[in-house]
Amino acid sequence: MEGYLVFLKDVVLNYGYLIVFIFVLLENVFIIGFLVPGTIVLLVASFYTQIGYFNSILLVFIAYLATFFGDNISFFIGRYASSKINFIDRILSKYPQQDIIINKEWFFIIFNFSPYSRVMLPLFLGASKYPLKKWFIYSLISSFLFAFGFFIIGYGVASIALSLNEALNSASTLQFFCTIILAGWLSIILFSIKRNKKL
């Protein structure tokens, strides 16, 4: 892990804002997002912002744009290419949009904090023809919260502990709890759907 962090640190410090934008964007794109360490790159950049390598406002803005664009690439893949992704069609035929999202949209504000929903939720919402205006609103809010939240973790831990590993541990804990929230959210939805079908 230490060697991996040293490698990422060198990449971030050598390529700066560009590599942050590319990695954060790709981490939010369907399938690719499971392979690209965008969150770690953002944390590394945020950590080194505290000691003067990056401008705080510019870094958050770039991470915000990258997250937003990545989310929307996945959303529009779902909207216009979901017919070529068989498992999406199967899920949506079993659980239509109105069953999945009614009264549960509050979760969309924090979906970027879970690595699984960050990659998959925009794709499913696009495939289900979720209203564009509402999607953009939730995507804008969630993208900012993600960029600012992980910046604060990296920058804050650098101020207190001066340990990049501590920043990564804090980020992992946050993502774990958000994933638990996601699992609870999905469980409630599936339980509601089954109960309604029985009535």
Residues 6+ positions from 90 with CB-CB distance below 8 Å: none
The pLDDT, as a whole number, for residue 60 is: 95
The pLDDT, as a whole number, for residue 21 is: 96
Angle 86-94/115-127 helices, nearest 10 degrees? 80
Report residue 96 as tokens. Answer: 């239509």
Cα distances from 54 to residues 19, 60, 126, 189, in angstroms, run: 13, 10, 35, 42
The pLDDT, as a whole number, for residue 140 is: 93
Look at the block and give the residue holding tokens 């909207």. 79
Distance between CA atoms of residues 58 and 144, nearest Å: 13
Taken in order 127, 129, 133, 137, the sign of the CA dihedral is negative
Tens of each residue's pLDDT in the chain, 199 residues: 566 677 878 888 898 899 999 999 998 887 787 788 788 888 888 888 888 889 999 999 999 999 999 999 989 988 887 666 665 666 556 555 545 554 566 677 777 777 777 777 888 888 878 889 888 998 999 999 989 988 988 787 766 666 666 666 666 676 666 667 666 666 655 565 555 555 5
CB 72 within 8 Å of CB 122? yes
